[in-house]
Amino acid sequence: MENYKERIPHVKFKPKVRSLPLYSTCYLEAEIDKKVNKGKQKEKVVALVSANNEEEHSTEEHKGGAQDESDDEDEFVDNDYEIRPKDDPEFDEVISIVDDHDFVAHVDNEDVLEEFADMGYAGEISDHSIDTEELRSLDESSESDNSEVTSKRRKKKVKGRTWVPARDLKDPHFEIGQVFADCTMFREAVKKFAVKTGYNLTFQKNTNKKIEVICGKQKGRREDRACPFWMYAGSISQKSPELVIKTLNLEHKNCPVVPRVKFCTSTFIGKEYAHVFKVDPYISRKGFQDRVRDDYCQNITHRQVKRARKLAAELNEGSEADQYNMLESYAVMLRETNPNSTVKMMTEMEGEVRKFKRFYVCLDACKRGWKEGCRPVIGLDGCHIKGNYPGQLLSAVGIDANNGMYPIAYAIVELENYETWTWFMEFVRVDLKINNGNDVMFMSDKQKGLLDAVADVVPG
């Protein structure tokens, strides 16, 4: 089939289509409106526009004669389907009209644009081939963009393994890129590592953002130090508390293993062996020292054992201050589990803080037991409470049928004086329903304010 450019040499197609990539083809349908013989006649011309390199072959190549006969022999041409003059009168008429006028075809290409926009093509349909140098420059620009992206990815720092105390603190192991939640966690890991290995490590720099660990108390530049051990951890960012190990050298040179590392303190021992004191709170000092020596090859003193035991008790049972805060809940629980019991707690305000002052307890079973099976004798006495929060313990004790001591009531007060004994005896009289002193005999050691308090509360 002959080329349309040969049949219509004077037709200039200027479609309003974006430039398309090379080797892409599209079918354009053009409507030609022209007055023919004093009337309007619409004819449709279908033009096949090809954007490949075949447009470089001009009509001269088809007229080359004998020079291109060898090339044309390979092409198969069916003469039955070849268009000859006067085969299509209407087509010839349109061609004659086009020859008389400078014809420009306006193409309605909105559908074509939408189709190529969906396919991702953008560009201009052109009959000319693109220069190879231009293609090479495009490839080079894309390669440069890809190299910039990969370089940015390489510059991005990748986090290493995250330190988990429950998993890693038992057997500390450090590596470059290891991430710690904060500086406190990193210090604990270094201390555990020092005690386990037996080397005296030192924090050369110790801030929230930078921590440097060296062996011993060496000074000067790192290159001049006797031991090459060095560990440096810095913050990931200014806003993040996380630390990451950036430099690491765990090798020691001519450094002795010491039997008493400075990081093996009573605080470290108490936290490390809290579970041991929970199982056996009264473990012997010698037995505990031997256990620490077997585990870490460290010798600890008697004072360290005492402080470690105290710290372990606080970790397992809570501190004494925290237990005072639980007294109110304890009083409520006693009333619920022992109906008809008397539980009183007195507090006072110290600024904006409520402070414990007194506590009185008399259980219902003790009340009924004294009334039904004990002799009418009550012994009154008090003793000191020692510790971080000292006070006085007041008690009322009876005698049962076997001449044994029978507890009736007790109270915790700040001092032993007339006021506290009066406060205590008022509750005892109400709970035991003592109307006068003739029915009950009171025994005491005549402490301060005790005789006057009993005489005022229970006359007789």
Q: Identify whether residues 432 and 446 lie together within a single domain.
A: yes
Band of residue 368 on the pLDDT scale cut at 50, 70, 90: very high
Q: What is the pLDDT of residue 350?
A: 87
Whether 120 shows a pLDDT value over 60: the answer reads: no
Whether 199 shows a pLDDT value over 80: the answer reads: yes
Q: Identify whether residues 396 and 433 lie together within a single domain.
A: yes
Whether 14 shows a pLDDT value over 50: the answer reads: no
Which whole number is the average pLDDT over 80-86? 56
Which whole number is the average pLDDT over 86-103? 52
Which whole number is the average pLDDT over 305-326? 89
Q: Identify whether residues 230 and 172 lie together within a single domain.
A: yes
Instruction: Name residue, tokens 């020691």.
Output: 252
| % of the chain exceeding 90 in pLDDT | 42
Band of residue 317 on the pLDDT scale cut at 50, 70, 90: confident
The domain boundary, picked from 132, 150, 182, lies at 132
Q: What is the pLDDT of residue 11?
A: 46
Mean pLDDT of the chain: 75
| Residues 377-425: tens digit of each pLDDT | 999 999 999 888 899 999 999 999 888 999 999 999 999 999 999 999 9
Question: Which residues on neighbouring strands pair with residue 384, listed in sequence order?
Answer: 392
Which whole number is the average pLDDT over 169-188? 90
Q: Identify whether residues 75 and 54 lie together within a single domain.
A: yes
Give the DSSP H/E element, type plus range, for residue 166. helix 165-168
Instruction: Name residue, tokens 């009185």.
Output: 360
Q: Identify whether residues 212 and 295 lie together within a single domain.
A: no
Residue 27 lies in a domain: yes
Write down how long the chain is.
Answer: 460
Residue 138 lies in a domain: no
Residue 256 lies in a domain: no
| Residues 49-58: tens digit of each pLDDT | 344 444 444 4
Which whole number is the average pLDDT over 81-109? 52
pTM over 0.95: no
Q: Please give the residue that has the higher pLDDT: either 139 or 276.
A: 276
CB 428 within 8 A of CB 408: yes
Q: Identify whether residues 424 and 346 lie together within a single domain.
A: yes
Q: Which of 310, 328, 330, 408 is nearest to 367 (CA)?
A: 408
Whether 155 shows a pLDDT value over 60: the answer reads: no
Q: What is the pLDDT of residue 343?
A: 95
Q: Identify whether residues 327 and 452 lie together within a single domain.
A: yes
| % of the chain exceeding 70 in pLDDT | 64
Question: What range does the domain containing 31 cover?
Answer: 4-132
| Residues 250-276: tens digit of each pLDDT | 988 888 888 899 999 999 999 999 999
Q: Identify whether residues 125 and 209 lie together within a single domain.
A: no
Residue 254 lies in a domain: no
Both tokens assigned to 185: 């966690």
The domain boundary, picked from 132, 147, 182, lies at 132
Residue 143 lies in a domain: no
Q: What is the pLDDT of residue 27?
A: 38
Q: Identify whether residues 449 and 344 lie together within a single domain.
A: yes
Q: What is the pLDDT of residue 414?
A: 93
CB 196 within 8 A of CB 296: yes
Q: Comparing 27-41, 242-256, 269-283, 318-332, which segment has the lowest mean pLDDT?
A: 27-41
The domain boundary, picked from 197, 222, 249, lies at 249
Q: Identify whether residues 109 and 13 lie together within a single domain.
A: yes
Q: Identify whether residues 343 and 439 lie together within a single domain.
A: yes
Our count of domains for the chain comes to 4
Which string of DSSP letters, residue by residue, matches 217-270?
A: T--S-GGG-SS--EEEEEESSSS---EEEEEEE---SS-PPPSS-TT--HHHHH
Residue 154 lies in a domain: no
Residue 368 lies in a domain: yes
Q: Identify whether residues 278 and 402 lie together within a single domain.
A: no
Residue 147 lies in a domain: no
Q: What is the pLDDT of residue 114?
A: 52
